[in-house]
């Protein structure tokens, strides 16, 4: 079975500082994808970044990077130089080869960026 765990229900960060949102996962699949999504109060789920299980390099997309530690089964999201617009819910998700039509979501982390 697949499982995603996000242990930080809420976090605060000062504007312009970096912040790390934690995500651990459990799967018996050898091939899987890990994803982060941002959900502002408007409700739309915005895809941020992706890491494949076979990727050796950590993924980066602008101010977002994914700290992938396969042996520890962790896929933490790092946001550099936080902006007020980064205040939102963040969900970690995974999709595996077995039953790959399903995405498994963590419980989410509410990030608040303080001016």
Partner 1 sequence: DTEVTQTPKHLVMGMTNKKSLKCEQHMGHRAMYWYKQKAKKPPELMFVYSYEKLSINESVPSRFSPECPNSSLLNLHLHALQPEDSALYLCASSPYNELDTQYFGPGTRLTVL
What are the b/e assignments for 13-31, b being 16+ CB within 10 Å? beeeeebebbbbbebeeee
Residue 66, Cβ neighbours under 10 Å: how many? 23
Q: Compare residues 11 and 89 and give the one whose CB is closer to partner 1.
A: 89
- The residues of the shown chain that bind partner 1, judged by CB under 8 A, are 29, 31-33, 35, 37, 42-47, 50, 52, 89, 91, 95-97, 100-103, 105-108, 110
Cβ 30 to partner 1 shortest distance, Å: 10
Cβ 102 to partner 1 shortest distance, Å: 6
**CB of 8 within 8 A of CB of 107?**
no
Q: Compare residues 18 and 46 and give the one whose CB is closer to partner 1.
A: 46
Q: Compare residues 25 and 91 and give the one whose CB is closer to partner 1.
A: 91
DSSP, collapsed to helix, strand or coil, labels residue 86 as: helix
């Amino acid at each position: 079975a697949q499982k995603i765990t996000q242990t930080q229900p809420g976090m605060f960060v000062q504007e312009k500082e970096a912040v790390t949102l934690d995500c651990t996962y459990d799967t018996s699949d050898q091939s899987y994808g890990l994803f982060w999504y941002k959900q502002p109060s408007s409700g739309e789920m915005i895809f941020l970044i992706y890491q494949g299980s076979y990727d050796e390099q950590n993924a980066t997309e602008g101010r977002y990077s994914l700290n992938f530690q396969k042996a520890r089964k962790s896929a933490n999201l790092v946001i550099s130089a936080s902006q007020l617009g980064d205040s939102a819910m963040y969900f970690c998700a995974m999709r595996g080869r077995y039953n790959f039509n399903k995405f498994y979501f963590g419980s989410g982390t509410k990030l608040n960026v303080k001016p």
